[in-house]
Structure 1
Amino acid sequence: MFAVFRCLLQEQRKLDSFERAFTQLHSYTCDGQEPDYKKFLRVNHEKVLGAAAEKENGRPQLIAYPQGAKAGPSVFPRTRWNKAHTAELCDHKASARGSARAASEFVECYSTMGSSCAAGCGFVEAIDSQPQILVANSFKTRAAKKNPAFILNVGDNFYWGGIEKTCGTPMDELSYTAHHQFDQIYEGIYNGPGLDGKVWLSVLGNHDWGGRVFNNGWDQQIAYTWKSNRWRLPAAYWSQKVNFVDAGFTMDIFMVDSNAMDAEDLDEDPEHNICGAKHNPPGASCASQGGPESLDSCKQWFWDLWSANKAWLADGLAKSEADWQVAVTHFPCGFEAGFWSQMHNQHGLDLLVTGHRHDQELWSPSRMGGLTCFVTGGGGGISSEATPNIHNKKDWYGEAQYGFYDIAVTKQSMEITSINWNGYEIMTRNVYPK
């Protein structure tokens, strides 16, 4: 669930300005050296849980089917719908239809590797059984050839509920659970020539906050910034200036938290509501980490965060003197479309990079008031929106189900290329500075 950025001319690259939005730090210039993140540490501010993680805080291991008990990534099965989202094609849980047989449809596909599988699931064993590995392998192959400057990561970094530990671990510590999940699902998967040492500029997705709770270990994903030489997620929202030295241009990247879109009233949509009463434990609080203080204040906290994000972004874009302005957020093209169109037409935002939906969608600029936007949610930690069968695209939103994007940039233009799980280039679009 990521995109790679590369400059067509650069050999030397310098990431030279660092800003934490939560603490309103001034821009930090490091003259080619990485900032000392530890000096900022104590100020509050789409992958699968590895099955071997120990149980903590009474949490069960998240194993949906027998093969999920193996070390490393496994695919979290999700319900597949028709394109209009009016008819359920393949279910993965008991509560939706109420019968044991119906409830096991997609899980049974994975349990039997397709030998016993409802037709509506559109299960393609060679792809659906290992999409994260397939995408990662294509990602690594392309990185070795193209040598990306950095990676943009749009959130839902771990399924199902982010880091499976309650928020509150001291920010200068990394829990066993967080270490295990990062080791199994990130460090051990995305590595090799062209990727080693490359910075991942990241945001949180709704599942990183907890999916249907708000008190999972999102703070540990932030803390990992200071434990890693490439993971960068210093706050819920923040910005990064990139100076492409040899190519002679700059880029301001704004990392935005849009997860208020899944913060609803207590009794609404309990399976997809970060602030729902059904799954959040009594007394849940992340106040010690700068997060929601209580369940009652949760929804307002996220919407206040979104309001602060919007004001901060508008101000940052207005002040930006960079050649390119890019925003990265979790919720996909189409959400808050009026706001994003305004950021493009009034403040010069050039590109919006998003996730959340589990597929690949390169939108026409005409759909967002002239703003180019794409969804890169097909990283493979969870099953795709629709079948990956290329001969059955009637329920596809975009051009692919699993994959990533490659963005080649110069001072004059960007070339965005959609890469399928097998490494094939399937769509390209050019973007020019606003």
Structure 2
Amino acid sequence: MNNDSTIGRRGFLAGAATVAAGASLVGLSPAEAVPVAAGLTKFDFPTDRSVRLLITGDAGTGTRTQWAVADTMRDYHRREPFSLAVGLGDNIYESGPNSAVDVQFAEKFESPNAGLDFPWLMVLGNHDNSSVLGGDGGWLLRGNNEVEYHANSPRWWMPSRYYSVRVPEQHPVVEFFVLDVNPLASYVPPIFAPYWEVDGQFMSEQRAWLDRAVAESPATWKIACTHHPYLNNGPHGDAGRYEGLSVAPINGIHAKQFFDDHIVGNCHFILSGHDHSLQVLEPTAASKGTRQLVCGAAAKTVAAEPKLNPGGSGNAALFENYHELGFMIMDLTASSVDLTVVTVDLAGGGATEAFARRLA
């Protein structure tokens, strides 16, 4: 039986068969970007050379926790407007949408974010690509429903599974490279779907596109946006040691290789969710100067979850919070990057600026 929270066996098998047959899928690469529906006007990207970015992740629950965080975002937006936002994946819990017109888009994105009327750069997460169990990442075709939704919403920006955006478009201060690491980090590896395999067509094309896009970027700041983090002190762990596991590929060893070969040393920041925490990590020798931020506490916190990797990874951090909801704000100019971490008290409804520092 199909409904908004479960997936039918027939639909799953049909989707898997489509991928295995190598059929053309909508919106997989920038060359196949989804067009906007006739009559729909998307919110404009900023033209200023001062950019105020709202960073949020793992938000799509539709619960009061998501609404509490969004209420605080609205308060900040009224006082000092955001230019745009990035949503770092797990946009529709627990198992992703069933179609591009699924009511979950309204319940878990549009309604909670009402009034936050600017472009939202959306990243695909493991829950957005679920098959049998929520978050298993085992039905990658399912994520295309979120790509197709790009045609239906003024604020949701996901014209492809991976893409880039320059802000402003001319003489950009920043370029965002929104990436899809799910084929490399799924708990259900795509062993029967060559298209999605580690060295299959999708990832090969994404690697080539990313190398070219980063090399050609004229932006002052280059920011990679992924769901799965490269470095992470929370329960999910670092790439290559996800969940504290040594078993490839579910430990994210292929994701680590992707970060090592194509992102670290080439981008100034990596913004990721996945771990339901707020972390401002220091660059490491391995990250070649690239700084990792983890921002996945827009609706859930680590404190309410089993400790899959209790010791964490021990990366040096300027700030870490694993028990409070929250989001981040990044202010970018041609000469500086300032970061603010805002925590939200669900019981009292208050907000605290728990961290504020110039990072560059």
The two structures have a TM-score, normalised by structure 1, of 0.56
Residue 378 (structure 1) aligns with: 297
Which ranges in structure 1 are unaligned for 5 or more consecutive residues?
A: 1-19, 27-34, 40-45, 50-72, 75-129, 264-271, 276-294
Q: Give distance in 2, aligned partners of 1:47 and 1:302.
A: 28
1:269 corresponds to:
none
Amino acid at match of 1:203: V
What is the CA-CA distance between 1:303 and the residue it aligns to? 5.1
Alignment of 1:217-228 (within 5 A): 217-228=142-153
SS in 1 for 2:159: coil
Q: Which amino acid aligns with 2:301?
A: S
Whole-angstrom CA distance in 1 between matches of 2:269 and 2:152: 30
| Alpha-carbon distance in structure 1 between the residues aligned to 2:343 and 2:218 | 35
| Secondary structure of the structure 2 residue equivalent to 1:328 | strand
Structure 2: which 5+ runs fail to align? 1-26, 39-57, 232-238, 240-254, 315-319, 346-350
Tell whether the 8 Å contact from 1:206 to 1:274 is kept in structure 2 after alignment.
no
The amino acid across from 1:131 in the alignment is T
Provide the residue aligned with 2:334 in structure 1. Answer: 411
CA distance, structure 2, for counterparts of residue 412 and residue 217 of structure 1: 40
String of CA shifts for 1:39-93, please: whole Å, max 9, x gaps: 9xxxxxx2456xxxxxxxxxxxxxxxxxxxxxxx23xxxxxxxxxxxxxxxxxxx
- Of the two, which has the highest radius of gyration? 1
The alpha-carbon distance between structure 1 residues 329 and 131, as it changes in their structure 2 partners (threshold 3 A), is: same
State the Cα RMSD in Å. Answer: 3.2
For residue 427 of structure 1, what is the aligned residue in structure 2? 355
Pair 1:209 & 2:119 matched:
no
Deviation at 1:223, TM superposition (A): 1.3
Higher relative contact order (CA 8 A, sep 6+): 1
1:301 and 1:38, CA in 2 relative to 1: closer, same or farther beyond 3 A?
farther
Matches for 1:208-357 after TM superposition, within 5 Å:
208-210=128-130, 211-212=135-136, 213-214=138-139, 217-243=142-168, 249-263=172-186, 272-273=187-188, 275=190, 296-297=192-193, 300-301=196-197, 304=200, 305-334=202-231, 335=239, 336=255, 340=259, 343=262, 346-347=265-266, 349-357=267-275
| CA distance in structure 1 between the aligned counterparts of 2:111 and 2:304, rounded to whole angstroms | 27
> What is the CA distance between 1:156 and its match in structure 2?
0.6
Q: CA 1:131 to 1:346, structure 2 compared with 1: closer, same or farther past 3 Å?
A: closer
Residue 36 of structure 2 aligns with an amino acid whose one-letter code is Y
Once the two structures are aligned, what percentage of the paired residues are identical? Answer: 23
| Conservation of the 8 A alpha-carbon contact between 1:161 and 1:216 | no
Q: Which amino acid aligns with 1:251?
A: V
The residue number in structure 2 matching 1:366 is 284
CA contact (8 A) 2:60 2:90 kept: no
- Compared with structure 1, are the counterparts of its residues 183 and 234 closer, same or farther at alpha carbon in structure 2 (3 Å cutoff)? same
User: In the alignment, is residue 187 of structure 1 matched against residue 110 of structure 2?
Assistant: yes
Is the CA contact 1:202–1:231 (under 8 Å) kept in the aligned structure 2?
yes
Report the Cα offset of residue 321 of structure 1: 1.2
Q: Secondary structure at the match of 2:340?
A: strand
- Is the 8 Å Cα contact of residues 276 and 322 (structure 2) preserved in structure 1? no
Q: 1:199 aligns with which of 119, 135, 157?
A: 119
TM-score (normalizing by structure 2):
0.66
Tell whether the 8 Å contact from 2:144 to 2:161 is kept in structure 1 after alignment: no
Structure 1 residue 209, shift from structure 2 partner: 0.9
Tell me the amino acid that sits aligned with residue 235 of structure 1: S
Change (3 A) 1:332 1:404: same
Offset of 1:298 from its aligned partner?
Answer: 6.0
Provide Cα deviations, 1:191-217, integer angstroms capped at 9, x if missing partner.
Answer: 22xx12x00011110110113330674
How many corresponding residue pairs?
271
In the TM superposition, 1:10-21 aligns within 5 A as: none
Q: In the alignment, is the contact (CA less than 8 A) between 1:214 and 1:274 conserved in 2?
A: no
- What amino acid sits opposite 1:311 in the alignment? A
Contact 1:363–1:374 (Cα < 8 Å) also in 2: yes
Query: Which of 94, 108, 116 in structure 2 is aligned with 1:160?
Result: 94
After superposing on structure 2, the runs of 4+ consecutive aligned residues of structure 1 that deviate more than 6 Å are: 393-397
The counterpart of 1:146, out of the listed 80, 88, 92, is 80
Alpha-carbon distance in 1 for matches of 2:304, 2:313: 8
